[in-house]
Amino acid sequence: MDIKEIISKIHVDAGIDPDLRMAKNADELKNGKNMLLLSRFAEKHSLKGELCAALCFCGRFNDASGSNTAFSVGAQILRDCYGKIDSFFAPADDTELFNATAAILKAYKKNVKVTAVYKKMLPDGIDLGLIDRVVGLDGDKAKEIQNEVFSTENIVIGPLAAAALGTACDEIKNADDAHSRTVVLFPDIS
C-alpha cells in the first residue's frame, strides 16, 4: 500500500469525541489507545497548545486490524489526532519507522514541522527531505525528562524519546499558537 492509498483511508470525523481515541492517563492505555495527552507534564512546564505522545510498543502501534507496518503509525497518529497536527518530534534511530511516519504526516499536511532526534550521528537511510530540524541527544536533559514523565504520567520512556520530548517542550514554550498540537513519538515504552 502506498502513501496516497493510506491517506485516502484516513477518515477524520469532527463529530466523534477525540476523547474516544486519546488516553488521558496511563491506565487508559490498557484499552488499546495509542495516543496519550501529556496534560500534567505540559501543565508543569506551562506549555501552550496540546502535547501528545504517540505510544509504540516494539516500534509499532497496537493496530486492531493486525497491521504491523511502519506506515500504520503515521496513519494512526492522523486518525487519533483527527488530522490536527502541527509539529512532530521523533527519535531517528529506527529509520523505517521515522521515514514512513514522517512521509505520511507530510503527505497529509505539508506544513507539519518534523524534528528528528539522534544519538551520535543521524543514521544512514533517513530521508532528509522529510526533516525540518535535526537535534542531537542531550543525555543529562534526557534523564531529567525521563524522570519527570514517570512522575507525572506514570510511564517509562527511553532516552531518545525523552530527548524528543525535551526538544518539543523547548519549541512549544515559545509558540505563538495556543491551539497547536504537538505529537512526540515514544517508540518503546513500558
3-state DSSP call for residue 159?
helix
What share of residues in the chain are helix, strand, coil (percent, to 5)?
40, 20, 40
Mean pLDDT of 73-97: 85
All structural domains of the chain, each given as residue ranges with its CATH number in brackets, are 3-186 (3.40.50.1100)
Residues 51 and 77 sit within 8 Å (Cβ to Cβ): no
Mean pLDDT of 38-52: 84
Share of the chain above pLDDT 70, in %: 71
Residue located via cell numbers 496534560: 39
Residues 123 and 99 sit within 8 Å (Cβ to Cβ): no
Mean pLDDT of 136-162: 87
Share of the chain above pLDDT 90, in %: 21
pTM for this model (two decimals)? 0.81
